[in-house]
A and B are shown apart, each in its own frame.
Chain A
């Protein structure tokens, strides 16, 4: 008896006409895991979406990076959230734990990234339950990419990297809200990515120990936080190995700077001398 692979959990049903029961989200009984989103009814849909995009003002102010080396994948990110010039938080978790062997990074709109990564985690778990085996990183990233492609042009802002370890070994995919899905060995995403690439590309070797790789990632994110105004806070470094991910370190960038560049004591330029006292 041939078992047909159950793909129902992987389907995305966005063409379901949804009845708005007042809260904007309708979960149909057929596919309980897929929220079908209400689209606004208005005369100029494209204009409305463009205006919403401007209002939300997502500017990918962040630095995240990930690279594959011989012992797995290193994923690192800063922790600053900015709204224009204002720093709204210095303690944002930008590395999202999708499941014990897969990580996603957050760049772009925080709400978008958090929601869709959680949604991806749901889908991956359903796949595991229906198929009795873990989903591959390629499969998980494809799921996410397909969802984001169908929302293309509507103002989602997500620049994420899906990193993990599956049967084929370490996997790293870059997925973004324009619908791109790229496979690669080294990626950096965000406004500080150019600065991070400079340090990452210079120090990268395939054969490194886990400590060396972590230090390279930390240094690259630190460099980006120094030059880029929209990145800062703390550097978190994770390692994904055959047994799953492990958080290696979380260092405050302010202290990291003085650790790399301790303050040099300068020679005293002008000694204070007592004024000559007048003789009686």
Chain B
């Protein structure tokens, strides 16, 4: 979700196999560089592999270009990598959030074969995506300060996963501003 010169990216913490919960501390939001984060919902193994491949590509880019990737470029990279596997896809829906030029927040989401969807306010993915769309739509206001953004994102996330059997068991929220990153674990219903 986009705020005033900042953004928030959040996920739940459940790792499960259909109805059985395996872990309640699974990390799904990953850092690419200080001002670029990617969240990967869907198959856990594909999320981890895709993250490792993206970090590898970004590190190569850093060596060649001697700077960090811009979020827009990174989104194109992810889209291309996903489409490379058009006929045997990664079962992941990424959510990309970063601060671009002049620390302008940039967010986008994709389906599992790389269709980019840019947005100015918020993007969602996962099993509770319909609930999340509803919750974000009603709670979002433009130009929120980091503290208010954190509250909004946490409330939207918790409200949505409480209506989903397959998501929840706590929340993990990152608030990224040009000067700092706040990482918080949110207490949620553990059922």
Q: Interface of A with B (CB < 8 Å)? A: 61, 78, 80, 82, 85-87, 90, 191, 225-233, 253-254, 257-258, 263
**Interface: B119 (CB within 8 A):** no
A61 touches B19 (CB 8 A): yes
With CB as the reference atom, state the residue of chain B lying closest to A261: B190
**Interface of B toward A, CB cutoff 8 Å:** 16, 18-21, 127, 162-166, 187-191
Q: How far is the CA of A110 from the CA of B18 in the complex (A)?
A: 22
B163: A residues at CB distance < 8 A:
86-87
> Are the C-beta atoms of A85 and B166 separated by less than 8 Å?
yes
Q: Are A229 and B190 in contact (CB under 8 A)?
A: no
**Is there an interface contact between B20 and A228, defined as CB atoms closer than 8 Å?**
yes
Contacts of A80 in B (CB 8 A): 165, 191
B21 touches A226 (CB 8 A): yes
* Distance in angstroms between the alpha carbons of A203 and B188 in the assembled complex: 28
Contact B190 A253 (CB under 8 A): yes
**9 pairs across A/B with beta carbons < 8 Å?**
A82-B165, A85-B127, A87-B165, A90-B162, A191-B19, A225-B191, A230-B19, A254-B188, A258-B187
Our pick among B16, B20, B127, B189 for the contact of A232 (Cβ within 8 Å) is B189
The answer for the CA separation of A86 and B162 in the assembled complex, in Å, is 9
Q: Is the CB of A231 within 8 A of B164?
A: no
B46 to chain A, nearest CB (A): 19
Q: Which residues of A contact B19 (CB under 8 A)?
A: 61, 191, 228-230
B21, A86: Cβ atoms under 8 Å?
no
User: Residues of B contacting A233 with CB < 8 Å?
Assistant: 191
CA distance A18 to B20 in the complex (A): 45
Partner of A86, one of B18, B20, B165, B190: B165
Q: For residue A191, which residues in chain B have a CB less than 8 angstroms away from its CB?
A: 19
Contact of A229 with B21 in the complex, beta carbons under 8 Å: yes
Is the beta-carbon distance between B164 and A253 smaller than 8 angstroms?
no
Which single member of B16, B18, B189 contacts A254 (CB below 8 Å)?
Answer: B189
- State whether A254 touches B164 (Cβ < 8 A): no
- Which residue on chain A has the smallest CB distance to residue B189? A254
B187 near A229 with CB under 8 A, answer no
Find chain A residues with CB under 8 A from B16 CB: 229
Contacts A253-B191, A254-B191, A263-B187 given; indicate if A87 touches B21 (C-beta within 8 A): no
Once A61-B165, A85-B127 are accepted as A-B contacts, the answer to whether A226 and B191 lie under 8 Å apart by CB is yes
Which of A61, A86, A231, A263 sits near B191, CB closer than 8 Å? A231
Q: How many Å lie between the Cα of A85 and that of B129 in the bound state?
A: 12
